[in-house]
Amino acid sequence: MSDRVYAKDAGWKDMAAGGVIPQAGNAVEYETGGWRTFRPVRNDEACINCLQCWIYCPDDAIVCEDQTIKGKPYDLEHCKGCGICAKVCPVKCIEMKTETDFQD
């Protein structure tokens, strides 16, 4: 675990008073990608960059840079494989493949 997260064996003296979490947004260090049964695979050529998948992703797992998702990978450390992106895609360029098809 990094500095941004209190250690598993942190003692009562090691942590902020009042049970506060001072490290904003450190949940990004918690991987939820292992939950997946299905993984989204996007056909980047067919993608029209409409960003519907991005606005409807419950986990902010659609990587977008310079207003573009085309060619960008999914955030597989966090994608839970819910399949909403594939459903809302107006050109059906996302396929939900079985996670066990992949070796990573």
Partner 1 sequence: MWAFAVKEGITVPKNLKQLVDSPVRLTAGHRLCPGCGEPITVRQVLMGTDDPVIVANATGCLEVSTTIFPYTAWNVPWMHIAFENAAAAASGLEAMYESLKAQGKIDADANYKFVAFAGDGGTYDIGFQALSGAVERRHSFLYVCLNNQAYMNTGVQRSSASPLGAHTTTSPSGRTSVGKQMVQKDLTECMVAHEMPYVAQSIPGRWRDLVGKAEKAFATEGPSFINVLAPCPLGWICDPADTVDIAMLAADTCIWPLYEVVEGEYKLTYKPKEKKPVDEYLQPQGRFKHLFKGDEGAQMRQRIQENTDRKWEQLLKKCGEA
Partner 2 sequence: MGKVMPLEGNHAVAEAMRQINPDVVAAYPITPSTEIVQTFAKFHADGKVKTNFVAVESEHSAMSACTAAAAAGGRVMNATSANGLALMWEILYITSSLRQPVVLTVVNRALSGNINIHCDHSDAMGARDAGWLQIYGENAQEAYDNCIQAVAIAERLDVRLPVMNCLDGFLVSHAYEMVEVEEDQAVADWVGPYKPVMPLLDIQSPYTVGPLDLWDYYFEHKRSQIEAYGPAKAAIIEEGKRFGEAFGREYGLMECVDLDDAEVAVVALGSTAGMCKDVVADLRDKGVKAGLLKLRVYRPFPAEEIAAALKNCKAVAVFDRAASYGAACGPLYAEITSALYTSGLSVPCTNVIYGLGGREIRPEQIADVFDSLNDVKSSGQPAQPVSYVGVRG
Which helix H or strand E contains 40, and what residues bound it? strand 38-42
Using CB distances below 5 to 8 A depending on partner kind, what does residue 17 bind out of partner 2, partner 1, none? partner 2
Using CB distances below 5 to 8 A depending on partner kind, what does residue 40 bind out of partner 1, partner 2, none? none
CA–CA separation, 28 vs 2, rounded Å?
Answer: 11
Phi first, then psi: give them for residue 59, nearest 5 degrees: -115, 15
Residue of 55, 41, 51 lying closest to 93 (CA atoms): 41
Nearer to partner 2, 24 or 55 (CB): 24
Least Å from the CB of residue 33 to partner 1: 9
Nearer to partner 2, 12 or 101 (CB): 12
Instruction: Give me the residues that bind partner 1 (CB under 8 A), please.
Output: 5-6, 10, 15, 19, 21, 23-32, 35, 50-52, 54-61, 64, 67, 75, 77-78, 80-84, 86-88, 96
Using CB distances below 5 to 8 A depending on partner kind, what does residue 95 bind out of partner 2, partner 1, none? none
Is residue 1 within 8 A of residue 7, CB to CB? The reply is yes
Question: How wide is the angle at C-alpha 44 spanned by C-alphas 40 and 48, nearest 5°?
Answer: 105
Tokens encoding 12: 């009562």
Least Å from the CB of residue 104 to partner 1: 18
